[in-house]
Structure 1
Amino acid sequence: MLDALNTLVRDVSSTPSFSHSSGIMVTRVCDFLQADICALYAVDQRSGRLRIVNQEGMQEDVAAGIHLNRGQGIVGFVAERAEPVNVLDMTTHKQFFEVRGLDDRKFAVFLGVPVIHNRLVFGVLTVQRQSDPFTEEEEGFLGSLATQIAHVVARAEATLELFPTRGIPTDAPDLRFKGIPGSSGIGLGTAVVIAPPADLDLVPDRIAQDQEAEFAAFNRAVSEVAEDLREIHESMAATVGEEEMALFDAYLHMLDDEAIPADVRTEIAAGQWAPGALRRVISSHTQQLEASRSTYLAERSADVRELGQRVLARLQNVQRPVCEIPPDAILVAEEITAGMLAEFPTDRLKAIVALKGTGSSHAAILARTLDVPAVMGAEDIPVLEIDRHRLVVDGTFGEVVCNPSRSVTRHFDRVASEERDLADSLALLRDEPAETLDGHRVNLWVNIGLVGDITRSLDKGAEGIGLFRTEVVFGTRDRFPTEQEQRLIYREHMEAFDPRPVSMRTLDIGGDKQLPYFPIEERDPSLGWRGIRVTLDHPEIFLVQVRAMLKANAGLEGTLRVMLPMVTNLNEIEEAISMIDRAFREVRAEGFDCKQPQIGAMIEVPSAVYQAREIAKVVDFLAVGSNDLTQYMLAASRNNPRVADLYDEFHPAVLMAMREVVKAAHAEQKGIGVCGEMAGTPEGALLCLGMGYDVLSMNSTNLLRVKCMIRNVTRIGCRRVLARAFKLKSQENVRSLVQEHLESIGLKKLIPQHAMPELQ
């Protein structure tokens, strides 16, 4: 039974069309449970009424005419009570409601289970048969199925697939949709919905009549798409940096003869026509990626799918419909890829909204490079209905407002205007020291990963690099970069920041950070092979990278700081130090004038917190990765929507852990910094200042805001706020305390405005 359940859930979840997937489900459920009738009822979240969206065993006209209120009939009873009903004779149930044309008395054995997503009932799944009661095992099967397909039903309801005639009324103001922050900022404008010009899912299998003609058509389509992508590459070259350009190169590499085209040609050689062969191969590749436990690899499926749609459009001679792009366009699509974004006129682009994706999506990375607000993963947006509607996109908090009222528009206009004014005033602090009113100096460094970040960081007055995410260099390629390739990229950053210090994290992959050419498949990736564990097991990767770092730093004044990620014990650190010493000797022997680097350990897991003092004895500095530390302290991933609200760096336990690490570092006279989101907000930075952190490293966007806070507080005042925070019981209370303190000293302007009275 478990195998049947897993297979059915996989097939339902992977079928793009809800009508098709729900049809598969009701048919198979009937077969598996030997039921005469299976029906999926959907609940309209606005009216509360239920109707059948797919069924097996009923007459179509009868099924189409069934509409129930919540609580009406036995099905409505299941929806209202949000609990299953399993009866031998449904006609004896107190809520029985006879429907004309439906022979419930003949098929009286009834089992119905609610379909619940995020505590809301989105539907009811029912089965009926003439005789034999449904067993507990069968009830468990149907309940498990309903639980696992609930997100599919909820998404279909949100995107109007369940109730397509409902639409978004033009007079319904202030419709709010929640997503994931992709790129900060506020964008107001007109939605422009982009749909793929060709749909792979609609391509049937067909035997090729002329195999040579199919080969020729496919080869021509691939060549044309490759030329299109080269043009995109050239058009974006002046706008983004080398690493960002590598995102487009990834498309071209997928068109290499030994990649996707080779698999398609194999299918054609087996007798399939070119469009069908393409659909099969793209479907196979995307299913493998989506099945991965790696968020990174799962998101790359969007790139593969979009590439397939481009090739199919060329095969079918279909051009993307030309639509008028307003001067205040907000790009909206189910999936937004780097290629789609590159083709859109950036001078008219005010924001982007994607139903799928996260902050690590290629589109989100490019949006940040282009300084365009972005919201990803806004899966509830009815993309079929939203075209040309007015939108407000809040990329900072990951929210979209459709049909904003005048008051809401004025609110966002005011917030955007205040942000611009604040940015202008903060720019005056660029060359001022990050020093408190009582004379305490703090180092403000930046987290960086792309060449495009260099200019933005220096323009904001960054005093060093606190975290160079070297995995970005690896992730934008289709193979491991050579030592020389790494050296050149690292050198570009070091020269730009010289004589400022540069902290380079050794390759940190595993968990939600994966390389397309070195996939790591594990049952529990967050607790598996990641960070320093991977590179110590592959010394050839570690040594090449460290050698590249040392050579890149040769002849420069700035200090190279090598950071070891995700360390959990002293043995890992000692082994890494030994390998760094070896690399240093080798590079010096080759004639490079390089200095011994400083070596630091990142404190990101509870075990490292408790061993922080012992770790501090053997390294030159410590760096707290507050994002991962929060995740592991609270056992909650911010990328998991089911528990994301539990992830909060202001949790008292996280604050206590961070304070203990500072004490340990300073007890050994070692410097310590924090390089996570905790350091990048005025509230979090104030608490870090109170704890005694020497370095605060953050995204360049937040640097001047934090500097302004530092220059308007005293260190002793921060310590007092921290002491009060430790007496509180919840993260909400801690955050409120710090915000109230900032407001009391005239720094309310530094706290990003979010809550709107009109939308509460």
Structure 2
Amino acid sequence: MLNSLRNIVQEVNAARDLQSALNIIVARIKESMHTQVCSVYLRDGKKNYVLMATDGLNPKAVGKVSLRAEEGLVGRVVSREEPLNLEHAETHPSYQYFPETGEERFSSFLGVPIIHHREVLGVLVVQQVDRRRFDEGDEAFLVTLSAQLAGVIAHAEATGVVVAVGQGKGEAKFIGVSGCSGVAIGEAVVISPPADLNSVPYQVVSDIEEEIAFFYRCLAAVRNDIGRMSDELRSRLSREEQALFDAYLAMLDDASLGGEVTERIRGGVCAPYAWADVILEHERNFNSMSDPYLRDRAADVRDLGRRVLAYLQESAQMCRVYPDNTILVGEELTASMLGEVPADKLAGLVSVEGSRNSHVAILARAMDIPTVMGVIDLPYTKLDQRKLIVDGYNGIVYLDPSKVLKSHYKAIFKEEQALQKDLETLKDKPCETTDGHRLNLWVNTGLMADVMRSLDRGAEGVGLYRTEVPFLLRDRFPGEEEQTKIYREQLEAFAPRQVTMRTLDVGGDKALPYFPIEEDNPFLGWRGIRVTLDHPEIFLVQVRAMLKASEGLDNLRIMLPMITNIPELDAANALILRAFNEVMEEGHRVVYPPVGVMVEVPAAVYQAKELAARADFLSVGSNDLTQYLLAVDRNNARVADLYQSMHPAVLSALQEVVEAGHAENVDVSICGELAGDPGAAVLLMAMGYDVLSMSATNLPKVKSVLRAISKDQACALLAEVMCLHTAEAIEATLNTRLQDMGIKRLYRPNV
């Protein structure tokens, strides 16, 4: 069974298009299960289920037989969302006869749903003339196979849509989640990790002969590299091991892989895509072989493929042109990828992986770039140079949009600009409710670009300066002097306003390329304060740099991430005191800064009072706290809909923290993305938070809402929502009550 499953999935993955994939599925399942019929029904745009491929029924019925979700045996599988196994199918009350299929001869029926993201994409059916019930093994095989093929079919369907749209057949729409609100209209630039054979974007070329010449130059460079490695290792390798290098050189021969790639380039595609296509095809062929020795050669093919691709991509990268209104598209975008695009040309971001609270989405909000995350079925490698609309309000990406759609979004873009202009009038006004309650609105920063934007929008301080950003943008640990200079710029820019610097927070979704942390479960692993306490040399250098940078300004606050217990806080405080004494002994005159704790794990919620007794302030990191409370990886697009900041458990935890902090007479702030949601800000103010810290983009919107409501109204609203039991009910109630007060919460246009 396992061999059959693996072979079928590999063969389907290698299919050129959806129809080829479906034809492979029905033929291979029929063969593996020794049945007389295998068919696939897929959902169409009208939510009917159409016979799309068959091996055993009348092939002329393909594309013609269509059933509603409750019609026939196939419809019953769809409506019940579970297998249907019948020995006498014709006697079942849901049986419906379609004469064009010729299925009247087949009595036994086994149908299983193909489910992707809780939706039934289609139904796999096997049938047989003999009256027998398919056994448990048959059913298990088909269920397992449908589960594995669901994603493949969904991706193939989406790829087919992209190709069809590219041929002038309308526009396509893909759903993700909002990463940063706003609208972007521009041209896709697909960016992929270096030497990743599965992520090479499809691009066409005009000068075919030059592209072929370029390909052979790169091939020659790799031949030289392999020849040099062979010479260097000759004395240390046996004759058999040395033969591997000879095999590599043979594969690079013009008549071998080179000839296949040249053929594809002559078809009009770029060299990197043609090379990756050929290598992946050969790898699949080796993987499908029964001989273990030959199957192991797939790894050699992939290794060779990466070596050549690295040369092809390096040369292509040097001449990459970013158009005006570039929309960066990738499987998993990173901060360094954003940094490669000129700031005046980056209009929008689309990421296949990740969610609203992924690190890159937080960075996008800091830079005010409309972003859609988690578009997991998007065939992104096919989008290069295609026209896109990024709807960051609703988490939608439109491909090759029509003139009507473009006009609609251009109007929204103009409305955005007008709204932003209105909000700018609030810059110098305090965040004060209608009944005189004053609340501090601070900002989250990480880049120098954040500084001017924050000050222009009336920031009263920095609730979170992400010190890891300078570390992420370098190829080594920055030294003490480098860090001092960076921190001084931030402290000077905001002085005399307070600047809260979080000590180095790496691990989880923030990996330093020069300090790799590889773990099976990184979010529950070595991250935050755990890393820096284990490496006091890193922690002490950073704290010394912070203290030196604060000299004469005295506006520094230090915040400790990922604290889970009292000993961690005590150990960190001891190191900070040591760094302070060292700096003072060197002749610097600095004021000992307030030291606070980030509350971002459940353990810190339940020990908030004890932590507050040993700290100068508490600050809730709502992004991670929500993740850990709900057991939802905030970077996983598959569970993005379960990441609910308004979940009753999250709100209860937030209220418990602020009450515990105030019981110890310390200020409590919140620096997660929840603080930047105007509706959530109303609830946080009612809970008693002293500071809300958010991206500069959201600050005017939050201020506008809080200035339009009274503290009493906010408290009444909080009391109402705290009695509700679902995030959906809380969101709906919040929106309704604010609307009743004449307050527009989300500034989200109707699209």
Q: Which residue of 2 aligns with 1:146?
A: 146
Alignment of 1:141-180 (within 5 A): 141-160=141-160, 170=170, 177-180=174-177
1:65 CA displacement: 3.8
Partner letter of residue 113 of structure 1?
V
1:640 CA displacement: 4.0
1:216 aligns with 2:223: no
Identity %: 45
Contact 2:51 2:66 in 1 (8 A): no
CA distance in 2, matches of 1:19, 1:632: 42
1:58 CA displacement: 5.8
Change over 3 Å in CA distance of 1:369–1:751 after alignment to 2: closer
Structure-2-length-normalised TM-score: 0.74
CA distance in 1, matches of 2:631, 2:530: 20
1:605 CA displacement: 2.2
Change over 3 Å in CA distance of 1:4–1:477 after alignment to 2: farther
1:273 CA displacement: 1.7
1:699 CA displacement: 0.2
CA distance in 1, matches of 2:196, 2:527: 37
Structure-1-length-normalised TM-score: 0.73
Of 451, 465, 469, which residue of structure 2 is paired with 1:468? Answer: 465
1:629 CA displacement: 2.0
1:720 aligns with 2:716: yes
CA distance in 1, matches of 2:593, 2:660: 22
Change over 3 Å in CA distance of 1:410–1:161 after alignment to 2: closer
Q: Which residue of 2 aligns with 1:114?
A: 113
Q: Which residue of 2 aligns with 1:614?
A: 610
CA distance in 1, matches of 2:722, 2:504: 35
Change over 3 Å in CA distance of 1:124–1:482 after alignment to 2: farther
Q: Which residue of 2 aligns with 1:243?
A: none
Q: Give per-residue Cα distances to partners, 1:156-209, cap 9 Å, x unaligned.
A: 334436995998864x9xx7642222332123x57668799x996799xxxxxx
Contact 2:492 2:553 in 1 (8 A): no
Of 621, 628, 634, which residue of structure 1 is paired with 2:630? Answer: 634
Contact 2:359 2:510 in 1 (8 A): no
Contact 1:559 1:598 in 2 (8 A): no
Q: Which residue of 2 aligns with 1:301?
A: none
1:446 CA displacement: 0.8
Bigger mean CA deviation after superposition, 715-724 or 110-119: 715-724
Alignment of 1:111-510 (within 5 A): 111-127=110-126, 134-160=134-160, 170=170, 177-187=174-184, 189=185, 216-218=220-222, 269=248, 271-273=250-252, 279=276, 311-312=311-312, 351=348, 353=350, 371-379=368-376, 393-400=390-397, 415-510=412-507
Contact 2:353 2:636 in 1 (8 A): no
CA distance in 2, matches of 1:564, 1:652: 26
CA distance in 2, matches of 1:166, 1:89: 46
Q: Which residue of 1 aligns with 2:295?
A: none
Change over 3 Å in CA distance of 1:520–1:40 after alignment to 2: farther
1:379 CA displacement: 4.6
SS in 2 for 1:160: helix
Q: Which residue of 2 aligns with 1:751?
A: 746
> Unpaired runs of 5+ in structure 1?
204-210, 222-264, 288-304
Of 599, 603, 622, which residue of structure 2 is paired with 1:603? Answer: 599
1:92 CA displacement: 7.0
Contact 1:613 1:668 in 2 (8 A): yes
Q: Which residue of 2 aligns with 1:704?
A: 700
CA distance in 2, matches of 1:572, 1:317: 45
Contact 2:366 2:697 in 1 (8 A): no
Q: Give per-residue Cα distances to partners, 1:318-368, cap 9 Å, x unaligned.
A: 999x99x8x888777888788998898987875455555656889868866
CA distance in 2, matches of 1:315, 1:266: 24
CA distance in 2, matches of 1:279, 1:390: 25
Alignment of 1:655-694 (within 5 A): 655-694=651-690
Of 530, 535, 538, which residue of structure 2 is paired with 1:538? Answer: 535
CA distance in 2, matches of 1:101, 1:743: 56
SS in 1 for 2:619: strand
Q: Which residue of 1 aligns with 2:65?
A: 68
Contact 2:354 2:635 in 1 (8 A): no
> Unpaired runs of 5+ in structure 2?
201-214, 226-243, 259-271, 285-304
1:653 aligns with 2:649: yes
Partner letter of residue 752 of structure 1?
Y
1:731 aligns with 2:732: no
Taking only aligned residues, the RMSD between alpha carbons, in angstroms, comes to 5.1
1:395 CA displacement: 1.3
1:467 CA displacement: 0.9
CA distance in 1, matches of 2:588, 2:340: 44
SS in 2 for 1:125: strand
Bigger mean CA deviation after superposition, 368-377 or 499-508: 368-377
Q: Which residue of 2 aligns with 1:564?
A: 560
Contact 1:436 1:712 in 2 (8 A): yes
Contact 2:115 2:122 in 1 (8 A): yes
Corresponding residue pairs, total: 675
1:140 CA displacement: 1.9
1:698 CA displacement: 0.2
Q: Give per-residue Cα distances to partners, 1:647-680, cap 9 Å, x unaligned.
A: 3333333222212211211111111101112211
CA distance in 2, matches of 1:41, 1:312: 41
